[in-house]
Structure 1
Amino acid sequence: MAEKDGFKVLKMGFDEDKVIYVKGETLKKLQHVILGMLSDFIEACKDNNINYSLSGGSILGAVRHQGFIPWDDDVDINISRKDFNKLKKVFPQALGDKYNLYAPEDAKGHGMSLAQMKKKGTVYRSFNELDKEDSGITMDLFVVENTPNNAVLRKLHGMLCLAYGYMLTCRKTYEDLPEIKKYVKEGEALKTFEKKAKIGSFLRFMSLDHLTRRTISIYSLCHNDHSKYVTIPSGRKHYFGEMQERDHLLKVKEVPFETIKANIPEDPVPYLLALYGKTYMEVPPVEKREQHPLMALDLGEGEDK
């Protein structure tokens, strides 16, 4: 979501004649669907005493725009490992009639280290999901993990998380590369995908599902729910770039988000500074605004009209 290093390379790498960048009225309709998903999620969390926060660019949107970043096409969530495990238990009854939940440690063929909630009867197919039948409109759920209090152990844990996260990305890219090539032009982005796929080829002795489960087991090694620091290994800045004091990330407050209210960190400034720098309140120029290249989009019954 929002600005990130290297995004321009990825954006320029896709053949714009073969992908969709959602804009205008279609973007407004997509945001309407996602806002409904977020509202349902929040209601389920309140009913089941589950703590959560908006994540990444959704926090930035709440602070800077009191809702979506105007060009944004998704919502991200942060949720502690303890609360995510609780969510998995209540999800079928609380949200299962309208949504599917994909947890990396459970979902076959998921191949990503983040969890996802997808709306049934919709399609939102990105380059991460080219080989999946179920690619519905998605809320990404980033699990907040405990970290060891001992600095040396924390460093070792972080290095393990970085290694396994990268291996998982490479292993999945190896699986996806034939489909990815249909949409990416020759150039730097394609070379990046090919490099990851080559590394992934050396890991093909492990199934994608096995490596995904192994990655999550590494991420969740620390069981101290009172550790001073927590982190989001599956986040865009990974273990060390996403590390925050526990209260800075998990102590929350409710703020306006479009027509509803949603949780963000009680003091979001340390998080926003870590992810976006001192200029996070400045609206970036058009060329630095992130949008996701999509291969297919279907908003579902009644939403396309």
Structure 2
Amino acid sequence: MRPIPSEEIQPLLLGVLRAFARYCNAHGLRYFLDYGTLLGAVRHKGFIPWDDDVDVSMLRDDYKQLLALAHESPYLDTEKKYRILLPAELPNFYPFVKVVDESTLAYEKNIKREYALGIWLDVFCLVHCPDDAQASAQLFSQHHRYKKMNELVVCGNAVGSRQKILYPFASAAGAALRLVGRDSEHWAQRMIGLVEGAPSTGDAVGQLSWPDCFETDVFPSSWWDDVVELEFEGERFTVPRAYHEVLQKHYGDYMELPPEKDRVRHDFEAYYRGERTA
């Protein structure tokens, strides 16, 4: 396999996003650019310069339809280059959909190399939250515990001095969990269960697939009622009409560039699986 130069990562990601958007449009599915990808569209009219993945969100009805379509056929395209990986469909140990470029392979830092995927697009599910704020906060707290357990059982490929110091302890804890059947699929299914058990209606929606925290990932439902298009790398993709409010909730003063130390990237090792094709 040949290493992928860093300057080729974002064009490859754009290819995944373009294929996903085309697929959603063909099947009447609504999607929203979200997180760093939405921020990039607003602040940079494209990728954040240091970003190396793509984030989109979908409301639960569209997300469920995407899952149903993927069960019938996992590919976005007739060439079978772009594949939908279902939640907890190994090597995708995450509890949400990933769309991958199967001509590539990326080894994430601090995750066992056996879980390597193609360069990816994350698809997060927005679900209604309990009307009681305390109940919603508890739901997110429960998800956070499952998330940490999942991270323990897949830890490996330690990068950085701190991770290398902690790795023997995390690895031992992960091995103990796997020994009693608490493997990555177990924890992913627990998180999927939280999404599936969420209320069907309500005044608030939250990203409960892989949230950061209750304070930044719960929104008024009305913010996601309508879409508009924004430019992203010279093309146009759909975003929530209330994108300004969404970004403020995620990041606060989102137009201000963060300090260099906070410009986070995944820093994966990326390779072309075989001969590169155009």
- Alignment TM-score, normalising by the size of structure 1: 0.77
What does 1:28-47 align with in structure 2 at a 5 Å threshold?
A: 28-47=7-26
Residue 245 of structure 2 is matched in structure 1 by: 270
For structure 1, which segment, 280-289 or 64-73, has the greater mean C-alpha deviation from structure 2 after superposition? Answer: 280-289
Whether 1:253 aligns to 2:232 is: no
Contact 2:217 2:249 in 1 (8 A): yes
Contact 1:161 1:219 in 2 (8 A): no
Q: Decide whether aligned partners of structure 1 residues 138 and 129 sit closer, same or farther in structure 2, where only a CA change above 3 A counts.
A: farther
Runs (4 or more) in structure 1 with deviation over 3 Å come to 189-204, 299-303
Q: Decide whether aligned partners of structure 1 residues 93 and 100 sit closer, same or farther in structure 2, where only a CA change above 3 A counts.
A: closer
Contact 1:126 1:295 in 2 (8 A): yes
- AA aligned opposite 1:100: R
CA distance in structure 2 between the partners assigned to 1:63 and 1:99 by the alignment = 26
CA distance in structure 1 between the partners assigned to 2:140 and 2:86 by the alignment = 17
Whether 1:298 aligns to 2:276 is: no
Q: Decide whether aligned partners of structure 1 residues 244 and 117 sit closer, same or farther in structure 2, where only a CA change above 3 A counts.
A: same
Q: Decide whether aligned partners of structure 1 residues 60 and 248 sit closer, same or farther in structure 2, where only a CA change above 3 A counts.
A: same
Residue 83 of structure 2 is matched in structure 1 by: 100
CA distance in structure 2 between the partners assigned to 1:157 and 1:276 by the alignment = 20
Q: Decide whether aligned partners of structure 1 residues 199 and 30 sit closer, same or farther in structure 2, where only a CA change above 3 A counts.
A: same
Structure 2 runs not aligned, ≥5 long: none
Which of 199, 208, 217 is residue 242 of structure 1 equivalent to? 217
Q: Decide whether aligned partners of structure 1 residues 180 and 211 sit closer, same or farther in structure 2, where only a CA change above 3 A counts.
A: same
Whether 1:72 aligns to 2:51 is: yes
Q: Decide whether aligned partners of structure 1 residues 240 and 98 sit closer, same or farther in structure 2, where only a CA change above 3 A counts.
A: same
What does 1:207-218 align with in structure 2 at a 5 Å threshold?
A: 207-218=183-194
Contact 1:111 1:172 in 2 (8 A): no
Residue 3 of structure 1 is matched in structure 2 by: none
Secondary structure of 1:155's aligned partner: helix
CA distance in structure 1 between the partners assigned to 2:117 and 2:6 by the alignment = 18
Residue 230 of structure 1 is matched in structure 2 by: 205
CA distance in structure 2 between the partners assigned to 1:84 and 1:68 by the alignment = 24
What does 1:139-154 align with in structure 2 at a 5 Å threshold?
A: 139-149=121-131, 151=132, 154=133
Post-superposition CA distance 1:118-151 (Å, at most 9, x none): 11121122126533365101001111121123x1
For structure 1, which segment, 280-289 or 260-269, has the greater mean C-alpha deviation from structure 2 after superposition? Answer: 280-289
CA distance in structure 2 between the partners assigned to 1:253 and 1:300 by the alignment = 38
Residue 62 of structure 2 is matched in structure 1 by: 83
CA distance in structure 1 between the partners assigned to 2:37 and 2:23 by the alignment = 19
Residue 180 of structure 1 is matched in structure 2 by: 157
**Between Structure 1 and Structure 2, which shows a larger proportion of strand residues?**
2
Q: Decide whether aligned partners of structure 1 residues 199 and 52 sit closer, same or farther in structure 2, where only a CA change above 3 A counts.
A: same
Identity of aligned residues (%): 24
Secondary structure of 1:69's aligned partner: coil
Q: Which has the higher contact order (CA 8 A, sep 6+)?
A: 1
- AA aligned opposite 1:173: L
Post-superposition CA distance 1:175-228 (Å, at most 9, x none): 42xx333x332x3x456666765665664422321221122111331241x421
Contact 1:255 1:262 in 2 (8 A): yes
CA distance in structure 1 between the partners assigned to 2:115 and 2:52 by the alignment = 21
User: How many matched pairs?
Assistant: 270
Contact 1:61 1:69 in 2 (8 A): yes
Structure 1 runs not aligned, ≥5 long: 1-19
- AA aligned opposite 1:99: Y
